[in-house]
Amino acid sequence: NKTPSHSRGEYNVYSTFQSHEPEFDYLKSLEIEEKINKIRWLPQKNAAQFLLSTNDKTIKLWKISERDKRPEGYNLKEEDGRYRDPTTVTTLRVPVFRPMDLMVEASPRRIFANAHTYHINSISINSDYETYLSADDLRINLWHLEITDRSFNIVDIKPANMEELTEVITAAEFHPNSCNTFVYSSSKGTIRLCDMRASALCDRHSKLFEEPEDPSNRSFFSEIISSISDVKFSHSGRYMMTRDYLSVKIWDLNMENRPVETYQVHEYLRSKLCSLYENDCIFDKFECCWNGSDRQVYIVMTGSYNNFFRMFDRNTKRDITLEASRENNKPRTVLKPRKVCASGKRKKDEISVDSLDFNKKILHTAWHPKENIIAVATTNNLYIFQDKMN
Amino acid sequence: QDMQEKETVTPERAEEVKLKAKYPNLGQKPGGSDFLMKRLQKGQKYFDSGDYNMAKAKMKNKQLPSVGPDKNLVTGDHIPTPQDLPQRKSSLVTSKLAG
């Protein structure tokens, strides 16, 4: 199953645009940051690309289109756009399209505002390609892509008395095939699956996924590190993957009482939780992703610290740690696997836990939907890696 | 993975002991409502509109107020941006005769 070889050239920026501007809520004297929390592509329907981007409060639908030709040869206009004196026109010609340098234009098509009191953490497009959900810490809203002045609240976990608040929503996603089904994860490590056919307000879950905790292992940190930072359905929709602070878990939708697989991302951090709490790193939100839709291979990928990222092969149970950094990798060379030494004697080429740079975190990774090409984001750089050619 | 609880403390518990030694006033339950409410407000920057507009008035380059391109698409009550506000004329107009 050899795929045709793709170009091994360098990547250039395709388009850059400002999606959100900082805003001010004068009533509450709060600044609303322009920082983008999530971006989701819509399935492509025509030549243009559409994406949803969101900051803490407002979601926007952007159209990104290419222009690679322009009309030339108007009768009433000069090439620079000035109008000609009609009395000087003595012949008529038919304007034609001529190629021009590629221009990529981004234009906002819809703005979905004023529906969230708390900070939006997730957006997810439904498989019906008509609706999408947006989730903040306490509520989830359902939107229609064409309608900006109305939104339906489908989950509300805000308690009547805020003193009774025990958990918040951390991520939400629609099922890839069932347009009535979505899941949301919580800061307590649970995932709830909801069916929109059951009721208008899905406060009662259809399924609750939770791994039982060993009470004797409980510590001050237990709940914090169990908080789920990302949830992603598999392409088939049979499984879902969750990322908590130290691990990646694979759940079978048919089994609620425990995950079917658990992969340790950086277990050596368990004995560093005190300092990770002090420097706030324990609250870092790592994402996770599945490989593309290759039916025979199941790999999950997630980031870590020191610009490391990890991949776990579900079939072979093998895992690998790689590094995204310019100093340690020459372009076009195969990445060398890395190893962290938890304690004791450090072997050559291993890195000790204490020399990890916790400011170099990889929170976002993405896998090409069809090819073995991955994108890995460090703090200031984007790395694109591809499978080595045999 | 077996944890020998009788003889050794789990790494997590050892870290908890370290943390409590450093911060003896730390609350018992990190998942309590106070903690979560702080989390909900994490990152919110307070903004003083008076300070902001005073600072803008001092800027040499005056920015003309202009309607953002999205104004037509915003629904409901439009949250004003600083650019939407009319420029306030300064109270004291200095005479061009003043030295």
Domain boundaries, chain B: 10-46
A31 touches chain B (CB under 8 A): yes
Phi (first) and psi of residue A292, to 5 degrees: -65, -175
- Residue type at position A363: L
Question: Tens-digit pLDDT profile for chain A (390 aa)?
Answer: 334 445 566 888 999 999 999 988 888 888 899 999 999 999 999 999 999 999 999 999 999 999 999 999 999 988 888 898 889 889 999 999 999 999 999 999 999 999 999 999 999 999 999 999 999 999 999 999 999 999 999 999 999 998 889 999 999 999 999 999 999 999 999 999 999 999 999 889 999 999 998 888 889 899 999 999 999 999 999 999 999 999 999 999 999 999 999 999 999 999 999 999 999 999 999 999 999 987 788 999 999 999 999 999 999 999 999 999 988 777 778 889 999 998 777 788 899 999 999 999 999 999 999 889 999 999 999 999 998 754
Report yes or no: A41 and A50 within 8 Å, Cβ to Cβ: yes
| pLDDT reported for residue B8 | 66
Report yes or no: A153 and A202 within 8 Å, Cβ to Cβ: no
| pLDDT reported for residue A345 | 73
Cβ contacts of B76 on chain A, cutoff 8 Å: 113-114, 149
pLDDT tens profile B14-49: 999 998 898 887 766 665 666 777 677 666 666 677
The ipTM assigned to this model is 0.74
CB pairs under 8 A between A and B: 121
CA neighbor of A276 nearest in space, from A312, A246, A313, A300:
A246
Structure tokens at A48: 């243009």
Q: What is the H or E stretch that residue A276 is in?
A: helix A273-278
Residue A228: CB atoms within 10 Å: 23
Cβ contacts of B11 on chain A, cutoff 8 Å: 270-271, 273
pTM as predicted: 0.83
B63 touches chain A (CB under 8 A): no
Report yes or no: A304 and A322 within 8 Å, Cβ to Cβ: no
Residues B73, A111: C-beta atoms closer than 8 Å = yes
| pLDDT reported for residue B99 | 34
What single string gives the DSSP state of each residue in A248-274? EEEEETT--SS-SEEEES-GGGGGGHH
B55 touches chain A (CB under 8 A): no
A162 touches chain B (CB under 8 A): yes
